[in-house]
């Protein structure tokens, strides 16, 4: 995960008056990227972003955590939008219905305060064979660094709708309302297509033919997707970047139910290589198949622990542990504390800074 992406959320933490150092401890990052004067890595573990995402959602009670919006999206908004579109036949129907869902939500937010609803989710561009897919209604006011927030939203929507149709969206360009940053290279590499700033609306440019792509997911797929969210949206490699074997395996693991993760032989067969070759290449990348499985399961377990509606025994069952004590031992091995202690630490941290 690019460090700049994490910094975007840390700025929201700072703006909300939440202790940054405490947030860094929760996400297990051993340096403060907001302090200048030190050489910093370009990337951080995706798990750090995922943990910070969940922390901010709980603190703000806002799934959008302030990125590109002046209104809050209460927890559950994204889930309801997904349920609203999952039975659509095509990508076009899903995009239009998603827009209608947010228009419905708008009427309960009071005054729109200058939001530009625009002509709808799908807008023609100069080329008659292309269409701009718009996902958000930003304020007419521009915030400093708005290009980071807007790009982040477009990237997450790119990943979500790619998942919905079971293939990568054929991106032809990305439009951002924000003013042009001093360095555009990272944004071009992120999407692997032209990124144009200062446009009338932020969105993804697709060929019109893509609108007829069928929605391939069903409610069962969606339940699993939502259980893992935001893992599916933030753990994948960025479009256009070379994918390591580790990242390919992470992608395969994310497509399985967490209660029935595949073994090494099954994954190797999926990758069309031998298990021996897979283990050797993972060793050269400084990891192992078991480490990747453990990291995947830890990320999911921490996500579940942050949900107060799930008992710890229920989480153990969701994670596929036949014996609850085995889950307790595994969780303590991953995090250094028991599931109950981890949940209490999250609760105490939020209450102390409410």
Spans of all domains in the chain: 3-60, 89-212, 243-352
Structure tokens at 177: 């309302």
Residue 95 has a pLDDT of 93
Average pLDDT, the chain: 77
Residue 289 has a pLDDT of 92
User: Residue 107: helix, strand or coil by DSSP?
Assistant: coil
Residue 64 has a pLDDT of 56
Q: Which residue has the tokens 């798990």?
A: 47
Is the pLDDT assigned to residue 168 strictly greater than 80?
no
For the chain, strand residue ranges (E) read 122-124, 130-134, 173-175, 195-196, 203-207
End-to-end CA distance of the chain: 28
Bigger pLDDT: 323 vs 46: 323
Residue 68 has a pLDDT of 43
Average pLDDT of span 182-205: 80
Is the pLDDT assigned to residue 264 strictly greater than 90?
yes
Strand order in the sheet with 195-196: 122-124, 130-134, 203-207, 173-175, 195-196
User: Helices 77-85 and 91-106, interaxial angle, to 10°?
Assistant: 140
Position 259 confidence tier, pLDDT thresholds 50, 70, 90: low
Give CA–CA dist 350/18, Å, rounded.
9
Position 72 confidence tier, pLDDT thresholds 50, 70, 90: low
Architecture of domain 243-352: Orthogonal Bundle (1.10)
Most confident by average pLDDT, 14-28, 106-120, 297-311: 14-28
CB 254 within 8 A of CB 296: yes
User: Residue 13: helix, strand or coil by DSSP?
Assistant: helix
Lowest mean pLDDT among 96-100, 207-211, 248-252, 260-264: 248-252
DSSP state of 212: G
Is the pLDDT assigned to residue 245 strictly greater than 70?
yes
For 72, 289, 319, the CA distances from 63, given in Å and listed in that order, are 7, 32, 24
Give CA–CA dist 313/335, Å, rounded.
18
Position 87 confidence tier, pLDDT thresholds 50, 70, 90: very high
* Nearest C-alpha neighbor of 102 from the set 150, 56, 127, 134: 134
Give CA–CA dist 269/266, Å, rounded.
5
Residue 230 has a pLDDT of 57
294: CB partners within 8 A, 6+ apart: 330, 334
* Nearest C-alpha neighbor of 158 from the set 119, 190, 129, 200: 190
Bigger pLDDT: 16 vs 269: 269
Average pLDDT of span 1-7: 74
Lowest mean pLDDT among 70-79, 136-145, 187-196: 136-145
Is the pLDDT assigned to residue 115 strictly greater than 50?
no
Q: What are phi and psi of 207, to 5 degrees?
A: -70, 145
* Nearest C-alpha neighbor of 122 from the set 131, 135, 111: 131
């Amino acid at each position: 995960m690019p460090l700049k992406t994490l910094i975007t959320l840390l700025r929201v933490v700072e703006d909300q008056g939440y202790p940054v150092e405490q947030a860094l401890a929760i996400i297990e990052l051993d340096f403060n990227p907001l302090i200048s004067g030190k050489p910093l890595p370009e990337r951080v573990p995706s798990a750090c972003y995922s943990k910070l995402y969940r922390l901010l959602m709980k603190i703000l009670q806002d799934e959008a955590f302030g990125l590109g919006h002046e209104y809050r999206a209460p927890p559950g908004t994204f889930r309801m939008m997904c349920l609203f579109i999952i039975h659509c036949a095509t990508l076009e129907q899903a995009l239009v219905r998603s827009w209608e869902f947010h228009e419905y939500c708008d009427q309960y937010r009071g005054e729109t305060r200058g939001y530009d609803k625009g002509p709808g989710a799908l807008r023609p561009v100069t080329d008659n064979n292309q269409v701009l897919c718009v996902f958000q209604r930003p304020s007419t006011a521009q915030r400093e660094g708005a290009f980071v927030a807007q790009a982040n939203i477009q990237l997450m929507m790119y990943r979500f709708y790619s998942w919905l149709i079971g293939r990568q969206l054929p991106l032809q360009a990305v439009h951002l309302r924000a003013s042009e940053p001093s360095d555009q290279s990272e944004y071009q590499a992120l999407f692997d297509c032209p990124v144009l700033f200062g446009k009338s609306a932020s969105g993804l440019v697709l060929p019109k033919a893509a609108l007829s792509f069928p929605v391939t997911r069903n409610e069962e797929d969606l339940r699993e997707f939502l259980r893992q969210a935001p893992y599916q949206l933030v753990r994948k490699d960025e479009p256009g970047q070379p994918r390591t074997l580790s990242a390919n395996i992470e992608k395969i693991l994310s497509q399985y139910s967490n209660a029935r993760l595949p073994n090494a032989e099954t994954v190797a067969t999926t990758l069309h290589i031998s298990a021996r070759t897979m283990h050797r290449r993972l060793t050269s990348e400084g990891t192992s198949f078991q480490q990747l499985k453990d990291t995947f399961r830890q990320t999911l377990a921490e996500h579940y622990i942050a949900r107060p509606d799930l008992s710890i025994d229920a989480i153990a069952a969701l994670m596929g542990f036949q014996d609850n004590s085995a889950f307790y031992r595994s969780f303590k091995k991953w995090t250094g504390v028991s599931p109950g202690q981890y949940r209490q630490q999250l609760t105490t941290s939020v209450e102390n800074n409410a």
